Amino acid sequence: MKVMPTSLPGVLLIQPRVFSDPRGFFMETWQAHRYQLEGIPGRFVQDNYSCSTRGVLRGLHYQLKHPQGKLVYVLQGEVFDVAVDIRQGSPTFGHWTSAVLSGKNHHQLYIPAGFAHGFCVLSETAHFLYKCTDFYEPGDEYGLRWDDPSLGINWPLSAPQLSEKDGQYPTLDSVAQEYLPVAEDLR
């Protein structure tokens, strides 16, 4: 397994070891000890699975009371995945990083708690799995506009299919500080 830093400290790109043979392939998608050695927490409490069609964009979402760290990957299809540092006081506040995750490259992205997360689908369908470090709390869902000009994310599409909720989120510069997570080491 190879783990590489990204332009955002704490956000890690993981290339798990894949064992291919004439039957197909085998890979471990998570292993607490090995991932903890690479700085990825061993405490995931919830797995999520979403399926989306080409052109769908889910995000940019974050939580406040129960901020979720996420280990995200694609079983089938291809997505452009984005993490945005929105932690108050962070030196990389307002910066973003991205990775193309697919059922072919098997890459994973670890996104720490306190970051906004989203992805758009580049294939006919994308089966998206992720592990979360905290539980989902219906009243604890917040988000930012996918096309926030102050973020300048280079999405590889221009007219995504959004949920009604995702189409109404504010820009980062219009969100009051108390509605933004605090960097854990600054708590």
Ligand X SMILES: Cc1cn([C@H]2C[C@H](O)[C@@H](COP(=O)(O)OP(=O)(O)O[C@H]3O[C@H](C)C(=O)[C@H](O)[C@H]3O)O2)c(=O)[nH]c1=O
Residues classed as catalytic: 61, 130
Q: Distance (Å, rounded) from C-alpha 54 to C-alpha 138?
A: 26
Report if residue 117 touches ligand X, rule: CB under 6 A.
yes
35/142 with CB nearer ligand X: 142
Going through the chain in order, the beta strands assigned E by DSSP cover 2-5, 12-15, 18-21, 24-27, 46-53, 57-62, 70-76, 78-85, 96-102, 108-111, 115-121, 125-132, 142-143
Write down the H helix ranges in the chain.
32-37
Q: Which of 56, 64, 59 is nearest to 145 (CA)?
A: 59
Nearer to ligand X, 17 or 171 (CB): 171
Tokens of 61: 């979402």
For residues 61-80, which are near ligand X according to CB under 6 A? 61, 70
Query: Please, what is the minimum distance in Å from the beta carbon of residue 140 to ligand X?
Result: 10
Q: Which is nearer to ligand X, 111 or 183 (CB)?
A: 111
**Number of residue whose CB is nearest ligand X:** 136
The contact mask relative to ligand X for 22-61 (x = CB under 6 A, - = no) is --------------------------x-x-------xx-x
Residues of this chain that bind ligand X (CB under 6 A): 48, 50, 58-59, 61, 70, 117-119, 136, 163
